[in-house]
């Protein structure tokens, strides 16, 4: 018996994309560059989806591809070229980067004013300080979706499962900033179910199909499933679909966080153009 309200990321993302298209028209166009190293099939799909979405809203997207075996120096050189390129407002380096390349060093090479994923330490530090500039598209998209459905964050017990740099950590910071009481769980967390059952708002970003089962969820909780797991039965989230019988709100997979991530990336590209054109002040000095 399904009780949860489905948080429709696809519908909200469509609205965000049309707002972005309007913003892009007002700005007279903008440029977004993605960098992809190697031929990981999942990364190729993400890049393709991002480009398709960018094209649709009138963003000029540059698709920089580097072969497997690209060295760290070569990748950093490619990033530096994009830093210098005046037609590029925003830069995104797709992760994971293969070949033992130091991802943190690559992120440090991105001009912070163009860092649409918020992974340069300056932008990650701004988030830590509670003064966000760029924040990654996935956690920002999750907040927009929770907001759309009127989920109260202030005073709520929020539990984030996963502490990655791209999702879990920035997610926890945004929830903290929204005045939730935040717990971060990870692979060494003891009694995960006891922790997740405390959550009024539960965000799961692990990469393990159906990790979260109905017994692990507080009745009525808002559950956000960031996971995207390719299984024999198709794309599955980190949350067992039966959780919809217990939760108050839930995001579907697909059609929840995924479309919000792409739409929010486009929104971050608009932010990039505003920073670079002085419409918004980038807090650097
Ligand atoms: N929908 C979207 O737009 C979108 C965007 C990004 C990612 N994703 C998906 O979200 C998932 C997570 O991505 P990610 O990049 O954050 O992954 P990641 O870098 O692999 O991080 C996974 C996190 O989960 C934790 N973890 C692993 N096993 C666990 C367990 N049994 N119990 C509790 N925590 C556990 C890990 O803990 P440790 O830190 O202790 O290792 C780690 O912090 C993936 O399925 C990915 O495809 C979706």
Collect all residues with Cβ–Cβ distance below 8 Å to 224 and sequence separation of at least 6.
Answer: 7, 142, 145, 146, 201, 202, 203, 204, 250, 251, 256, 257
pLDDT the model gives residue 285? 59
Q: Please give the radius of gyration of the chain, using alpha carbons only, rounded to the nearest integer.
A: 19
Report the C-alpha gap between 8 and 244 in whole angstroms.
14
Atom number of ligand 1 nearest to Cα 189: 33
Catalytic residue ranges: 50, 94, 117
Q: Which residues contact 63 (CB under 8 A, 6 or more apart)?
A: 34, 36, 47, 51
Q: How much is the pLDDT for 154? A: 98
CB atoms within 10 A of CB 274: 17
Contact (CB, 8 A) for 281 and 251 = no
Q: Which residues contact 40 (CB under 8 A, 6 or more apart)?
A: 96, 98
pLDDT tens per residue, range 234-255: 999 999 999 999 999 999 999 9
For 109, how many CA atoms within 13 A lie in the half-sphere containing its CB?
21
Cis before 254 (ω within 30):
yes
Q: How far is it, in rounded angstroms, from Cα 43 to Cα 177?
A: 30
Those residues whose C-beta lies under 8 Å from the C-beta of residue 208, and which sit 6 or more positions away, are 227, 229, 238
- Looking from the CA of residue 237, the nearest atom of ligand 1 is 45
pLDDT of 284 reads: 77
What does the alpha-carbon distance between residue 46 and residue 278 come to, in Å, rounded to a whole number?
A: 30
The Å distance, Cα 165 to ligand 1 centre, comes to 10
pLDDT single digits (tens) 25-82: 999 999 999 999 999 999 999 999 999 999 999 999 999 999 999 999 999 999 999 9
CB 284 near ligand 1, within 6 Å: no
DSSP string, 268-281: HHHHHHHHHTTSS-
What are the distances in angstroms from CA 230 to CA 3, 6, 233? 26, 21, 8
Q: What gap in Å lies between CA 209 and CA 195, rounded to an integer?
A: 19
d(C-alpha 158, C-alpha 182), whole Å:
5
Can you tell me the distance from the alpha carbon of 270 to that of 57, in angstroms, rounded to the nearest whole number? Answer: 11
Task: For residue 184, report the distance from its CA to the centre of ligand 1, in Å.
Answer: 12
Ligand 1 site, residue 71, Cβ cutoff 6 A: no
Residues with Cβ within 8 Å of 68's Cβ and at least 6 positions away in sequence, in order, are 37, 38, 39, 98, 99
Q: Report, as ranges of residue numbers, the positions in the chain whose pLDDT lies below 70.
A: 285
* pLDDT (0 to 100) of residue 236: 97
**Among candidate residues 144, 146, 85, the one with its CA nearest the CA of residue 276:** 85
Ligand 1 lined by 167 (C-beta under 6 Å): yes
Name the 3-class secondary structure at 51.
Answer: helix
Whether residue 228 has its Cβ less than 6 Å from ligand 1: yes
């Amino acid at each position: 018996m399904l009780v949860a309200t489905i948080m429709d990321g696809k519908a909200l993302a469509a609205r965000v994309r049309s707002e972005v298209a309007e913003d892009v028209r007002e700005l007279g166009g903008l440029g977004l560059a993605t960098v992809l190293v190697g031929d990981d099939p999942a990364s190729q799909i993400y890049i393709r989806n991002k480009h398709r979405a960018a094209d649709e809203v009138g963003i000029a997207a540059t698709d920089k591809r580097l072969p497997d075996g690209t060295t760290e120096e070569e990748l950093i050189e490619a990033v530096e070229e994009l830093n210098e390129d005046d037609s590029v407002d925003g830069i995104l380096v797709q992760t994971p980067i293969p070949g033992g390349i130091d991802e943190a060093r690559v992120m440090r090479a991105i001009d912070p004013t163009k860092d649409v994923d918020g992974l340069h330490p300056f932008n990650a530090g701004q988030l830590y300080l509670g003064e966000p500039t760029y924040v990654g598209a996935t956690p920002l998209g999750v907040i927009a979706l929770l907001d759309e459905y009127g989920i109260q964050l202030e005073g709520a017990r929020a539990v984030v499962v996963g502490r990655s740099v791209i999702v879990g950590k920035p997610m926890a910071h945004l929830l903290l900033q929204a005045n939730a009481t935040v717990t971060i769980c990870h692979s060494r967390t003891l009694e995960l179910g006891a922790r997740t059952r405390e959550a009024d708002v539960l965000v799961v970003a692990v990469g393990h199909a159906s990790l979260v089962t109905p017994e692990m969820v507080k009745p009525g909780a808002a559950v956000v499933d960031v996971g995207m797991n390719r299984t024999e039965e198709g794309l599955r989230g980190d949350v067992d679909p039966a959780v919809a019988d217990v939760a108050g709100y839930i995001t579907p997979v697909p059609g929840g966080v995924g479309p919000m991530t792409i739409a929010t990336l486009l929104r971050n590209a608009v932010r990039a153009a505003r920073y670079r054109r002085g419409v918004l002040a980038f807090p650097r000095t």
